[in-house]
Structure formats: structure tokens, C-alpha cells
Amino acid sequence: MTVALWCILIALVLPPLCALIAKLSSGRFGLGANHDPRAFLDKLEGLPRRAHAAQLNSFEAFPAFAAAVLVADIVGNAEQVTQDVLAVMYITSRLLYIICYLADWAALRSLVWFAGLALIVSFFVVSV
């Protein structure tokens, strides 16, 4: 398997990681957090709430990234090393995005989000 395809798996793990951060940083993990997790997460504030928001955004961004990697792999016009580098850069952008969300750096978070979107588009561009 290629690095780019492994990056799909890594991207899939990022939302649950954010959820874990939300639950652990709330200080109330284990006190009903898993009986109704959606209601629990919706009531959070501060860092735990931002971690939950990062989780939701990670779920939203995942399909586009996975599709872009798979399209590039299937079309096969881009060098594999190019696909791998783009995928690693995307994962890096998502990690930076999560860090920015947790730290409440809104402007930088938006810039990093746009960089991630540009990387997704890049998969299609290099596949032409």
C-alpha cells in the first residue's frame, strides 16, 4: 500500500482523536459522557467544545480527501511520490488545523483549512 492510501486511514482516525480530547479535557469523561455522547458534547464549552468542533470538521473534510487520493490513485497520471507528498502535507495541515482549533487561533485556523482544501484540489490537478 502507498503512503497516500495509509494517509486515508490516518485521516479517518483524526475525528475520534478530537472526540477523545473533548471528553478528556472536559473533566467529566465517564460521568455519562458515553450514555448520550451527542448531548454531552453539545453542552461543552471552551477547549472541549473546540475539540468537538474540530471533530465535526474532520468528519466533514474526510470524504473529499479520501476521494481525491482514490481518484489520483485510479487515474494514475501523477507520480506516486507526488501523491504521497500531497497526502502527508494534507495530514500535516489537518493536525495543524486541530492544534489551531484547540488553541483558539481562528484566523490561522482558517488559513490552514484553506491550505488543506488546496491540497485536496491538487490531487485532481496533478492527475490530469
- pTM of the prediction? 0.92
Instruction: Give pLDDT, residue 29.
Output: 62
Considering the segment(s) 3-126 as one domain, its CATH architecture is: Up-down Bundle (1.20)
CB-CB contact of 41 with 96 (8 Å): no
pLDDT digits (tens, 9 = 90+) for 40-92: 777 889 999 999 999 999 999 999 999 999 999 999 899 999 999 999 999 99
Instruction: Give pLDDT, residue 39.
Output: 78
Instruction: Give pLDDT, residue 14.
Output: 98
